[in-house]
Structure 1
Amino acid sequence: MSKRRCDHCQLLYEEAVLLCDETFKEARFFCCKGCQGVFHLLQSEGLESFYDKLGGQSIAPPETPTSSGLEKFDLEKFKECYIKINDEGFCEISLIIEGIHCAACVWLNEKVLFQKEGVLEASINGTSHKARIVWDPETTSLSSIIQTIRAIGYNAHPYDPKLQEEHANAARREYYSRLLVGVFATMNIMWIAIAQYAGYFTGMRGDIKSVLNFAEFVLATPALFYTGWVYYRGAYYGFKHGYVSMDTLIATGASLAYGFSLYAMFSGNGETYFDSVTMIVTFVFAGKYLEVLTKKRAVDTLDAMIGSLPTEVMVIRGEEKILLHVEEVQAGDVIEVRPGEKVVIDGVVLSGEASFDESSLTGESEPKLKGQKEAILSGSICLDSVVRYEASATHQGSILSKIVTLLEVSMTKKPRIEQLANSIAGKFSLVVLSIALLTFIGWFVATGSFETALVVAISVIVIACPCALGLATPVATLVGLGVGAQKGVLFKEASFLENMAKSRVLLLDKTGTLTEGRPKVKEAWIDPACEVDVLFALLGTSSHPVSQGVREYLEEHTLALKEATLLDVEVVEAKGVQAKWKEHAIAGGSGRLMEELGIAHERVGATHYLFSCDGVVLARFALEDTPKKDAKAVLAHLQKMNIKVEMLTGDNETAAWKVAREVGITQVRHSLFPHEKAAVVEEYQAKGVHVVMAGDGINDTLALSQADIAIAMGEGADVAVSASDVVLLNDSLKSLEDAFLVSRKTYRTIKQNIGFSLLYNVTTVPLAVLGFVNPMIAAISMSLSSLVVIGNAMRIRTMLKKGKQ
């Protein structure tokens, strides 16, 4: 009976069992209703080019779409555990999509999701099959989205980091058992090989040689097909999807040596190479196993942050203590934390006093004493007393949750140099196979020996190492990101490591970046006719550090302050605030604001605040903001690293230069508005210079968004943090220095690794072609090249501990 393929899944069936659909111009045949439904769906959505992308590959036929089991995705408990609400109020989730096996599958899922009403963003990682989906809950639901995925023949379930960790541990255990088999086979086969080599020179009876060959065969077979299974699997998928990888090279080389050895053993012609087969597989697999361990160690920072977090907290409700899941805690709830417990949710201390270890967040080992009204951060550990605090955010809105999200995202983004290395590595394997084929032909023609030609060709295949080239960037990047996080430096994307390493200009805001950011009143004059309550209310309309400094002064020195009612409040950008109180026009801010309003005033100090009512100044305050303790030393070190440092500030000339002289900056631009700061960034970029901008305020946002690398101090405004590429968690300038050191060392290591892997292949492949390398030595050197790359990447951690550039 004739067979034909299903027009959707491309699987072969008896023609009689296929469903015939004649609703199209040409009759279509399907193996099931599921395939027929998906085919109709793709046609109606204009996605029929999926079949062109699929080529001749087959896919699993879908199950008939049903709604069973989908209701759970809309339950409140499920939403609390897996769905996040972003700043715009849209829902966001990470899903693992099952059934993806090629680029066509990724393309199809993304296209279908994008065309679904209510879905705003859908991006799928083709390697991990992890999808990030953002949707409008007013328009669609998660159950509907998953139903859409199922309708085209795939399935989806929420991404759970702890579950993924279990899978990773299981994979490591499997790799370990495979390695043990390989090592056992290699160690025993080496003794047999020694006996054979001795017999080769001293003479050995044929029957004894046959027994030894069979013993090697028994040991080499599990090493090849059990330990080496990962190479056959990788080669299979590579062949299926049309690419040649390192797995293809190892599987090809080992199989050729194994096949020829079988021929030699049964025919009695030629020498066997079972020892080389075992060593090729085992040595290369050992490198692969160490690669797995290295990657795990590189992301241990992320695992350490989420692995030991408690899932429940003690919440105080009246006189009761209730144990609640962290997802159920709301802002405003009172939480009790005891000595030794880790804080899971951000908050402000209500009662008690204790020391907190914030080293996992900021990298600072010295505990910090926290008392009433002071903020405590999620991720810190209570050391010595019971404290009750008010939650200032939900679990998802707390800093630790945001850090984990940033790290997860950063580890999925590839720098441009990694994309280049991967592109070279992808083509490299095909080139090596071509060279090996030409080598075989050349040696066979030159010597007439099939065995000699084959052994030399196998050596060429095995010694070539696209693996080292492929590992050159990602391992170094993972180590760099992990070390940065330990030091309180968060790179939002791995690509920012490369951009920052190339930067030669650092532009710094003054207030809150170079200085403590909390100006204190040093001198004050208040007219007896001044309505202090009105001044106090006006100060409350501005979040500027100067306004807040004056407000704190009034709180400390004035009794029974009340909030007056103000009308028509208008914030004048970078100058101050105007408003109406009763029938009076009031204003507060800098001397520039008073000059624009035509109000005569007397300047007091470099940084000052003036308050006027109906055109008369009724209060003057002189303030001083001191530079951060480590500012001078850090900036001196950065300048030694050949980084040009320039201060950009909205403050007046006197205040700007006072701070600049104290911290050792010789280039200052003062009295700048936000758009003027951004213009300075553009000025440098027009000259082809990579620019790093560091700031902490709302007025820095324009310049931060314009810069090649934007750095936000950890205690800065939320909008500045959102616009940044790098976040300094501990608000210290030492972290700014660490950010440059991490990026430069990582980028330098990447270039070293790529240079070494290219030099290795350029040197060793010709030696193998000329016949100077046998397969066993080729396997050892190939494995060692990967280990050199990994070891060099791990040096980033050691070098940065010693403070080297």
Structure 2
Amino acid sequence: MSKQRCDHCHLEYNASVLLQDTTFETPKFFCCKGCQGVYHLLKDEGLDTFYAKMGDETTLEPPKVNLDDTSRFDLDGFISKYVKTNKEGLNEIALIIEGIHCSACVWLNEKVLSKQEGIVEVSINYTNHKAKIVWDGAVIKLSQIIETIRSIGYNAYPYDPKSGEERATAQRREYYSKLLVGVFSTMNVMWIAIAQYAGYFTGMESNIKSILNFAEFILATPTLFYTGSIYFKGAYYGIKHRYVTMDFLVATGATLTYVFSLYAMFTRNAEVYFDSVTMIITFVFAGKYLEVLTKKKAVDTLDAFGSAMPSEVTIIKGDEKILTSVDSVEIGEIIEVRAGDKVAIDGIIVEGEGSFDLSRLNGESIPILSQKGDKILSGSICLDSVIRYQATNTFSSSMLSKLVTLLEDAMNKKPKIEKLANQISGYFSRAILFLAFSTLLFWFYQSGSFETGLIVAISVIVIACPCALSLATPVATLVGLGLAAKRGILFKEAGFIESMAKCDTLVLDKTGTITKGKPEVVETAYVQSFDRSLLYALVSSSTHPISQGIASFLKDSEESLHVKHLEQVKTVEAKGVKALFEGHTLLGGNAKMMNEEGVEFLIPSTLESLSHYFFAIDGILVAVFGLRDSLKEGARESIEALKKLGLEIVMLSGDHLSVTQAIAKEVGIEVYEAALLPHEKADYIEALRKQGKKVVMAGDGINDTLALSQSEIAISMGSGADVAVDVSDVVLTNDSVNSLYEAFVIARKSLRVVKENLLFSLLYNVITIPLAMSGHVIPLFAALSMSLSSLVVVGNSMRIKNVLKRS
């Protein structure tokens, strides 16, 4: 017998008794669970260099206690790596739960965890088995949460794209081996069944028939207990917690057929159905295996956002370059990025210039040239030079980290229609058991044959498996989320897809949404001479696009601007800025502000169709600027496409009427309102909703946040203010009006596919269950049709990927 070392303690054992762990890139072998637990613990905490220091010749005593317990989940290193603290001070973690086979498994885990004191929120995504758990660390520990999950027959580990991929690969291998056993047994049992059916019509000696029955028994047994083991496990834990799962239906149907066939084989009083046992398990498992592969492809789109991010960056301290973890970088530190590097943290370029690929963020393949002073975002790729930039965010608060968090939350939050489907499938399983038992009694009474009644009842149980119903919503939703993410459209919750699809009115802010949000000075009128540096200091204190446009104009046109330190700088919401300088009052803003401050002004005829900015000193007007903001590329075509979807389009603006009117006419919007303050925009949307309209609002600035909060669905442009992004339900990272159109198309198509899936699932059950109860479907075809129904739902959901190609 060959000897092999344990990868932890280095003691030698017979190779056959070692535990193989395939969760690593290269499989590891351990003499016991204790060694395996310690090895995982050291690796998770970044201490696996211990083995290199230990050397190959040193051996350790095996642990006397099993360290594969949950205590490691409470270690500080583990918590700092995987656990986040939200705004309410509660702990939050993303876990992958192993062993989930159907929506009932999701329900069971959510139900049991929700009952635990201290757990505030539990949301599990059926498609990728990812759970978001929020809890109060003062009441319950993470180790207790993991123990609770294990106590009901499942396992959980922190979500990590890299380790998750390894575990997913191990699971696919396990499924593949079980499927091979099932397929091998099924192919051989079919030949035996053909021989038996031929012998039934032509005559066959009883001893030959017994041999063939035994051969079928040999093939059916490993299929039932090895390939079908996942169904027995799921059924056991479902019964333990008083819930009828899909696993229970499959396990019950196959086991009843197997037991009856054993009885028939030994008593020779009836026909055996070992072939049906083999085929039920194999067909159902094949559907499950294909479903796992299909769901994995959909999830890959979302996981790709975070999986390839660098874990280290080069920071510059004086003349020294230091390679450090992304988590340890602080705001203000200087980071160096070379050609081909991915940007891990948001910042502003302080040295150099280069082209950046932002396709991961916004789906656009055309690189953007960024220079000194420009902002760069995490997730972009430096293409052609070496640049240095100053970090403006930490890693966890940078753009890509936020997007990954948004996607994870979106995948975990269920739409209303999915919750309804899950509730239906829960009651559905119980109803099927009742119908199957009633069918058994009816056929036994009608025919006097228990065998006939049992086989028909088994067909009812197998054909009515609620898989298709359970898959109808989550797979379609996940495909929709993945497609949207690829196009730079991020839904913060999956439920927002459903809500957006039902909306009939789109309200658009003008500046930064329809227009580029970068007004340029095209006309000037100087009433009196003044120090341009005073105006530059005033407009530089505001982030409003018009103020920034004035600042840019002065910087380009004036040769000597001196630094002026203003006092008592005050921003007047949606109107302008006030300040003091050496006893003089400075005012800069729109006509409303000038009226309120008692400043007399007259708009020159050359500036009438432009946006206006007035500058006054001590109540006397000294300058008027006319600015024009150009439309975003493709804005007119996109709005025309939105109209064709049947949407009512409204434009709201804080700008004066003539400018708003000109933009509305240019893009083809008939309904618009001008000179609105932030609260007036919100009131307008509230009035629309009182009329029964379902409103989507799109904006980008701080002044849009009130209006965004009043709408059914709030959409913010990714380049907009952080507060606008925070209150929004959907984020458009590529800042394009066309993304609004694509968001509506994806949302409506996703909801349509969900409804198609649910309708198909209901029709399938309405048609097939009566057929099975009437005795027209044998268990073999019941298993086949049930598997096909699940694959039809998955295949229909994948059609969402092509919706933008046709539109």
In which range does the TM-score fall when normalised by the shorter chain?
A: 0.7 to 0.9
1:542 aligns with 2:549: no
Q: How many residues align?
A: 721
User: Cα offset for 1:799?
Assistant: 2.4
Q: Is the 8 A contact 2:725 2:731 kept in 1?
A: yes
User: Cα offset for 1:338?
Assistant: 2.4
Partner of 2:691: 687
Partner of 1:416: 416
Q: Residue by residue, what CA displacement relative to the aligned partner does 1:609-665 show, whole Å, maximum 9, x if unpaired?
A: 010012211111100001111111111011000011000111111010111111111
Partner of 1:214: 214
Point out where structure 1 has 5 or more consecutive residues left out of the alignment: 1-62, 114-121, 136-141
User: Cα offset for 1:699?
Assistant: 0.8
User: Cα offset for 1:682?
Assistant: 1.2
Partners of 1:103 and 1:593 lie apart in 2 by 55
What SS is found at the alignment partner of 1:257? helix
What SS is found at the alignment partner of 2:331? coil
Partners of 1:149 and 1:526 lie apart in 2 by 72
What SS is found at the alignment partner of 1:299? helix
Pick from 749, 766, 771: which aligns with 2:770?
Answer: 766
Q: Is the 8 A contact 2:682 2:710 kept in 1?
A: yes
What SS is found at the alignment partner of 2:412? coil
Q: Residue by residue, what CA displacement relative to the aligned partner does 1:386-420 show, whole Å, maximum 9, x if unpaired?
A: 33322222111111100110011111111001111
Change (3 A) 1:72 1:442: closer
Change (3 A) 1:154 1:501: closer
Which range moved further: 307-316 or 754-763? 307-316
Partner of 1:748: 752
Aligned identity (percent) is 54
Partner of 2:678: 674
Instruction: In structure 2, give the amino acid aligned to 1:640.
Output: K
Q: Is the 8 A contact 1:660 1:668 kept in 2?
A: yes
Partner of 1:350: 350
Change (3 A) 1:468 1:97: closer
Query: Normalising by structure 2, what TM-score?
Result: 0.85
Q: Superposed, which structure 2 residues align to 1:711-726 within 5 Å? A: 711-726=715-730
Instruction: In structure 2, give the amino acid aligned to 1:251.
Output: A
User: Cα offset for 1:376?
Assistant: 2.2
What SS is found at the alignment partner of 2:141? helix
Which range moved further: 239-248 or 777-786? 239-248
Instruction: In structure 2, give the amino acid aligned to 1:717.
Output: A
Partners of 1:386 and 1:85 lie apart in 2 by 36
1:331 aligns with 2:331: yes
User: Cα offset for 1:204?
Assistant: 1.4
Partner of 2:782: 778
Partners of 1:220 and 1:383 lie apart in 2 by 59
Q: Is the 8 A contact 1:416 1:495 kept in 2?
A: yes
Partners of 1:470 and 1:67 lie apart in 2 by 32
User: Cα offset for 1:785?
Assistant: 0.4
Q: Superposed, which structure 2 residues align to 1:9-24 within 5 Å? A: none
Pick from 736, 740, 747: which aligns with 2:740?
Answer: 736
Partners of 1:775 and 1:79 lie apart in 2 by 50
Instruction: In structure 2, give the amino acid aligned to 1:94.
Output: I
1:478 aligns with 2:478: yes
Partner of 1:94: 93
User: Cα offset for 1:687?
Assistant: 2.4
Change (3 A) 1:108 1:129: farther
User: Cα offset for 1:340?
Assistant: 2.4
Instruction: In structure 1, give the amino acid aligned to 2:633.
Output: K
Point out where structure 2 has 5 or more consecutive residues left out of the alignment: 1-65, 99-105, 151-155
Query: Normalising by structure 1, what TM-score?
Result: 0.85
Change (3 A) 1:148 1:325: closer
Partner of 2:447: 447
Partner of 2:295: 295
Instruction: In structure 1, give the amino acid aligned to 2:141.
Output: I
User: Cα offset for 1:774?
Assistant: 0.8
User: Cα offset for 1:108?
Assistant: 4.7
What SS is found at the alignment partner of 2:215? helix
Partners of 1:385 and 1:353 lie apart in 2 by 7
User: Cα offset for 1:585?
Assistant: 2.1
Partner of 2:49: none
User: Cα offset for 1:798?
Assistant: 2.0
Q: Residue by residue, what CA displacement relative to the aligned partner does 1:414-436 show, whole Å, maximum 9, x if unpaired?
A: 10011111111111111111111
What SS is found at the alignment partner of 1:411? helix
Partner of 1:106: 113
Q: Is the 8 A contact 2:220 2:277 kept in 1?
A: yes
1:123 aligns with 2:121: yes
Which range moved further: 526-535 or 196-205? 526-535
User: Cα offset for 1:671?
Assistant: 1.1
User: Cα offset for 1:779?
Assistant: 0.8
Partner of 2:141: 146
Instruction: In structure 2, give the amino acid aligned to 1:607.
Output: S
Q: Superposed, which structure 2 residues align to 1:176-215 within 5 Å? A: 176-215=176-215
Q: Residue by residue, what CA displacement relative to the aligned partner does 1:84-106 show, whole Å, maximum 9, x if unpaired?
A: 46568x57541659999766752
Instruction: In structure 1, give the amino acid aligned to 2:401.
Output: S
Partners of 1:144 and 1:224 lie apart in 2 by 43
What SS is found at the alignment partner of 1:651? coil
User: Cα offset for 1:185?
Assistant: 1.1
Which range moved further: 776-785 or 433-442? 433-442
1:308 aligns with 2:308: yes
User: Cα offset for 1:530?
Assistant: 1.2
1:701 aligns with 2:705: yes
Instruction: In structure 1, give the amino acid aligned to 2:191.
Output: W
1:621 aligns with 2:601: no
Instruction: In structure 2, give the amino acid aligned to 1:654.
Output: S
Instruction: In structure 1, give the amino acid aligned to 2:93.
Output: S
Instruction: In structure 1, give the amino acid aligned to 2:679.
Output: H
Partners of 2:452 and 2:647 lie apart in 1 by 58
Q: Is the 8 A contact 1:701 1:719 kept in 2?
A: yes
Partners of 2:145 and 2:304 lie apart in 1 by 35
Partner of 1:600: 600
Partners of 2:124 and 2:405 lie apart in 1 by 20
Partners of 1:151 and 1:324 lie apart in 2 by 32
Partners of 2:616 and 2:110 lie apart in 1 by 67
Q: Residue by residue, what CA displacement relative to the aligned partner does 1:306-327 show, whole Å, maximum 9, x if unpaired?
A: 2222211222222222211111
User: Cα offset for 1:531?
Assistant: 2.2
User: Cα offset for 1:107?
Assistant: 3.7
Q: Residue by residue, what CA displacement relative to the aligned partner does 1:714-764 show, whole Å, maximum 9, x if unpaired?
A: 000000000000000111111111110110010000000000000010011
Q: Residue by residue, what CA displacement relative to the aligned partner does 1:494-547 show, whole Å, maximum 9, x if unpaired?
A: 000000000000000000000000000001233553122221121122211001
User: Cα offset for 1:133?
Assistant: 4.1
Partner of 1:632: 636
Change (3 A) 1:146 1:454: closer
Pick from 777, 785, 801: which aligns with 1:797?
Answer: 801
Partners of 2:781 and 2:149 lie apart in 1 by 45
Q: Is the 8 A contact 2:336 2:387 kept in 1?
A: yes
Partners of 1:132 and 1:627 lie apart in 2 by 44
User: Cα offset for 1:145?
Assistant: 5.9
Instruction: In structure 2, give the amino acid aligned to 1:743.
Output: A
Instruction: In structure 1, give the amino acid aligned to 2:122.
Output: I
1:276 aligns with 2:276: yes
Q: Residue by residue, what CA displacement relative to the aligned partner does 1:573-631 show, whole Å, maximum 9, x if unpaired?
A: 21112222222222110112112222221223420101001221111110000111111
User: Cα offset for 1:130?
Assistant: 4.5
Instruction: In structure 1, give the amino acid aligned to 2:688.
Output: Y
Q: Residue by residue, what CA displacement relative to the aligned partner does 1:209-233 show, whole Å, maximum 9, x if unpaired?
A: 1111111111111111111111111
